[in-house]
Structure 1
Amino acid sequence: MSDLIFNVEDHIAKITLNRPDRLNAFSEEMIHLWIEALETVRDSDHIRAVLIRGNGKSFCAGGDIKEMIAGNGFYKSEDDLTSTGLARKNSLWKKVQRIPLLLEEIDQPVIAQMHGAAFGAGLDMALMCDIRIASEEIRLSESYVNVGLVPGDGAAYFLPRLVGKDRALDMLWTGKVIEAEEAKQMGLVTFVVPQDEIETFTDGYLQKIVNGPQQAIRLTKRAVYQSETMSLRSSLDMISSSMGLVTELEDYQQGVQAVMEKRKATFK
């Protein structure tokens, strides 16, 4: 079986990490397939939402330490110069770091469904998503420090934006394990649900997105993220442009008509 399964059904792209025997730790094949899947999502008008999840007992244990030691996986360079720091840096840039860069280009909502453990780069991949739905048994850790590594996959960028600099540094310096309720209070996850209800809850959430006004949803996501680096005037200027565009669309006409008729809108 492939280390990553990608399929699209009913406008939902599902990316399933598929190394359950290794708690879905990254392999080189997984990274390449993940990049290809995200490129497909980015370029698709048919896909309305993305779900990222893991097979087996856990969401993702991060990088595969055995492959790192062997010089394989996302530390393996094209010319096999694994003995040099520059080769390892370039390998990260060309491989695993392409994932957050591609996610930044995707306007469709991206949902992480998390269970078991999400450690190191596995946690970072969830932090890159828009919404994180976690089971009550979830365990989270920025575990890089345990093997003497820096957070090479985006934690230094994403984590402080979610929990603040002090809490981010605490997690990164200590490698502490965070459980579900604390993770929810910190803002690491969006929802916490019982493990036996997570599939139903996630499916229901995805259906709300899939059945919503697609251009309004995508432009709203773009506005939220881009406004983080904009002045107030620039943000308002951008959103007024989006407002001008969406009010020309059929979704807007349908929505207004539904409100007038006191019924739920149906979007195409």
Structure 2
Amino acid sequence: MVTLTLNDPQRGNALTGGMLATLCCALERLRAESGVRAVILTGAGSAFCLGADIGDLAAGVTELGESEQAGGEAVRVWYERLDRLASVVRGIRGLPCPVLAALNGQAAGAGFSLALACDYRIALPRVGLNIAYGRLGAGTDSGMSWFLPRIVGHARAMELLLEQPVIRAAKALELGLVNAIAEPGELIAAARAKAKEFAGSAPHAVAASKRLVDESFANSLNAHIEREHETFLRVLRTADVRRGVAAAQAGEWALFEGD
């Protein structure tokens, strides 16, 4: 189990260039480490992540406004910034193990998207989830408009994007935007307990489930069933399946090793 902490509390753990680069590197290393069974993502201080740094955003808007042509240098720089942010989201989704967001405080804009990219979200009661883009007059980024309709449905996603509310933990739980609420002082312990539970599952099966769920929205039913068949047969060849079957026959729980 690994815990990643966004650690720039004075700026609300904003996604600066440095923060994004560090997070991308950490996610790449984790993907290469086969022994990692679960990852917890949380924030230092009172916020989980307030999204883009407002100073960086202001400077970028000025640069873009001064660009003389749509294909100018400022546009290229902006695209690179957005792509770095997208790389973090892809990195979270690409991990084969469960990723849990331990929401210690507000998640706003792209910070909210990072939370949605995780497989499981546990929040403190005081947490607010803030779409935030409407306040800035901006469109969504970092997968916000992809994750929301998949979690809450099309109609509710549009309602949230139009109304731009700050969604408190209790309401987020009702909507399915968080999976659980932890008592103050118990957030990380609760996240670790859940991560330990997830880590007991067979890694091949977990990775397959993550891939299949993500692919399901792009596939027809017949095509997706074929993907399930392929995945099932591939996983069936693993030693973990043999352990699971033998344990089930003995009326026991298997200890999966990831091979």
Q: Is the shorter-chain TM-score for this pair beyond 0.5, marking a shared fold?
A: yes
1:257 matches 2:246: yes
CA–CA distance in 1 between the matches of 2:20 and 2:100?
A: 18
1:139 matches 2:128: yes
Distance 1:224 1:256, change over 3 A: same
What pairs up with 1:227-246 in 2 under 5 angstroms? 227-246=216-235
CA–CA distance in 1 between the matches of 2:239 and 2:248?
A: 14
Q: Does the residue aligned with 1:25 lie in a helix, a strand or coil?
A: coil
| Divergent runs of 4+, >3 A | 80-85
Alpha-carbon contact 2:38-2:196 (below 8 Å) kept: no
More divergent stretch after superposition (168-177 vs 214-223): 168-177
Q: Return 5+ residue gaps in structure 1 as ranges.
A: 1-11
Match of 1:114 among 92, 96, 103: 103
CA–CA distance in 1 between the matches of 2:252 and 2:93?
A: 35
Alpha-carbon contact 2:93-2:118 (below 8 Å) kept: no
CA–CA distance in 2 between the matches of 1:39 and 1:122?
A: 19
Distance 1:222 1:259, change over 3 A: same
Match of 2:147 among 146, 158, 167: 158
CA–CA distance in 1 between the matches of 2:143 and 2:213?
A: 19
Alpha-carbon contact 1:82-1:88 (below 8 Å) kept: no
- Aligned position for 1:181: 170
| Matched pairs, number | 251
Q: Does the residue aligned with 2:3 lie in a helix, a strand or coil?
A: strand
CA–CA distance in 2 between the matches of 1:201 and 1:164?
A: 28
Q: Does the residue aligned with 1:101 lie in a helix, a strand or coil?
A: helix
Alpha-carbon contact 2:27-2:92 (below 8 Å) kept: yes
Distance 1:232 1:257, change over 3 A: same
Task: Write the letter of the residue equivalent to 1:218.
Answer: A
Report the aligned-residue RMSD: 2.1
Q: Report the identity percentage.
A: 30
Match of 1:36 among 25, 44, 53: 25
- Aligned position for 2:211: 222
Normalised TM-score (structure 2): 0.89
1:208 matches 2:193: no
Q: Return 5+ residue gaps in structure 2 as ranges.
A: 68-73
Q: Does the residue aligned with 2:213 lie in a helix, a strand or coil?
A: helix
CA–CA distance in 1 between the matches of 2:37 and 2:215?
A: 20
* C-alpha distance after superposition, 1:245-265 (max 9, x if no partner): 222222112112222222222
CA–CA distance in 2 between the matches of 1:90 and 1:81?
A: 11
Q: Does the residue aligned with 1:169 lie in a helix, a strand or coil?
A: helix
Q: Does the residue aligned with 1:238 lie in a helix, a strand or coil?
A: helix
Alpha-carbon contact 2:212-2:228 (below 8 Å) kept: yes
CA–CA distance in 2 between the matches of 1:179 and 1:81?
A: 34
Alpha-carbon contact 1:251-1:267 (below 8 Å) kept: yes
Alpha-carbon contact 1:115-1:195 (below 8 Å) kept: no
Residue 177 of structure 1 deviates from its aligned partner by: 0.9
Point out which structure has higher relative CO (alpha carbons under 8 A, 6+ apart): 2
Alpha-carbon contact 2:121-2:178 (below 8 Å) kept: yes
